[in-house]
Structure 1
């Protein structure tokens, strides 16, 4: 029987004393995947990605799962994935996809391939003067500053004109974007693709007084039936990837004032795939995994 490993980390593993507030999402993914993989004749195990290589001795395929501390250990994470591949283990998504996706400058490449993207400044560091210059350049009084290597809105800041302290600095390589009202009105739309095919879509809304849509900040999700034009816009991002469609992808999009859907993120590393909005997600993934083990 082939064995599938779902990677987790110290902050998502059940029983950890340092479990994240959103670790319940790990539990929901496992609940969706484990029975579906077993029905498909596939054994299933959850393994900490930082475990020794010996822990993967009998593993045939690894899913990156809920390795949600990778952004602070990115080089070690990539090295582990490459070591697993060197052992002949199928890694999904593969190390070369992770290397491309791990720094958000990939969005610049997607835009160069014709993808509709949010206007973005890419800066190694920035201070208060840089922040105000960005506001002037975007013609806005609010900007969002994000880490170029980051996840889950960690370290993200919303800055408003006149409220940025003179000694403010952002100490990470950054991406700077105008704040778009759509995030608090319509919300963010996410499109889940399994093996290149659209599985389901959802709308993510921020809590009152918030703009971050993650569950850690009180965000909520609901199933969304995409229009043909919305599905086509999300499909265009998959088609713009510089490699074949991976096992899974979550395309997060936000609507512009002219109704264009713009890509916010193409999440290809360890995205949460929202099984609550897709009762058959586990079966879809099981079929895609089985296909990869046969090729």
Structure 2
């Protein structure tokens, strides 16, 4: 039986005293993957990526899973991935993860034709630069996001005259689009380049953040052919096809989809909304391990 490590973190592993309140999503992933993996003679073990006692060479491969603290330890995380990849296959590959770990990757995708929300990139944010962003982007409702981050951590929605909170990190700034609350964010989950399932994520009343930790809810959908084509086109801008990917999109004013994120590192893959995720992932991983 092949032995696979599923990289997790102190904030998601069961029994951790500092476990996140959305770590039940880790449990959903393990429940979805373990059975189908076993059917392919693969055992799956969730481990802390920062556990220095791990012998990575003892695993036949390593998958990046719920490493939901890496953005506060980016350099250390990327160094560990290089160490892993030196002794065993890593999914997704370290070079792809390094590129995807900084939101500037969106500019690369835009250069290849991806449609983005207008974005301003700020290395430092103070009252002057924050206030100037309203004029630059021509909006009175802006969202400030960390350039290295996930899950809306350190994110701020501001209007002119609002107090500027401390933002000690490089930030990206975008106009707030009302479609996030009117329709929701669409997510497309791909395994080895093939659509596994799609869903729409909606914020709770009075909020705009769609993550479960803020009360967001999800619903499986059958995407239109145009929406699926837009998501697939984003994936095909990559030079190599990742084992797994989640394409997050938001509808623009013209009805077409705009890219929010291409998640290639540690995305939650919503197995509840896509019950075929486990079998699809197991088959794809087994194929790669067997050299097919």
Report if TM-score (shorter chain) is over 0.5: yes
1:263 corresponds in structure 2 to 259
Q: Unaligned regions of 5+ residues in structure 1, if any?
A: none
CA offset at residue 132 of structure 1? 2.2
Q: Unaligned regions of 5+ residues in structure 2, if any?
A: none
SS for the counterpart of 1:96 is helix
Contact 1:53 1:84 in 2 (8 A): no
Equivalent residue runs for 1:105-120 within 5 Å:
105-120=104-119
CA offset at residue 53 of structure 1? 5.5
1:11 corresponds in structure 2 to 11
- Please give the alpha-carbon distance, in whole angstroms, between the structure 2 residues aligned to 1:114 and 1:282: 32
SS for the counterpart of 2:236 is helix
- Please give the alpha-carbon distance, in whole angstroms, between the structure 1 residues aligned to 2:54 and 2:24: 28
1:280 corresponds in structure 2 to 276
Out of 257, 268, 287, the residue aligned to residue 291 of structure 1 is: 287
- Please give the alpha-carbon distance, in whole angstroms, between the structure 2 residues aligned to 1:177 and 1:207: 21
- Please give the alpha-carbon distance, in whole angstroms, between the structure 1 residues aligned to 2:80 and 2:131: 40
TM value normalised by structure 1: 0.96
After superposition, the C-alpha distances for 1:236-259 in whole angstroms (9 at most, x for unaligned) are 100112x21100000000011111
1:130 corresponds in structure 2 to 129
- Please give the alpha-carbon distance, in whole angstroms, between the structure 1 residues aligned to 2:223 and 2:48: 35
Q: Pick closer, same or farther for the CA change 1:57–1:169 going to 2, 3 Å.
A: closer
Question: CA RMSD of the aligned region, Å?
Answer: 1.1
Aligned length: 291
Equivalent residue runs for 1:72-83 within 5 Å:
72-83=72-83
- Please give the alpha-carbon distance, in whole angstroms, between the structure 2 residues aligned to 1:91 and 1:132: 43
Q: Does 1:249 align with 2:245?
A: yes
Contact 1:36 1:283 in 2 (8 A): yes
Equivalent residue runs for 1:89-108 within 5 Å:
89-108=88-107
1:233 corresponds in structure 2 to 230
Q: Does 1:170 align with 2:163?
A: no
TM value normalised by structure 2: 0.97
After superposition, the C-alpha distances for 1:259-287 in whole angstroms (9 at most, x for unaligned) are 12000000000000000011111000001
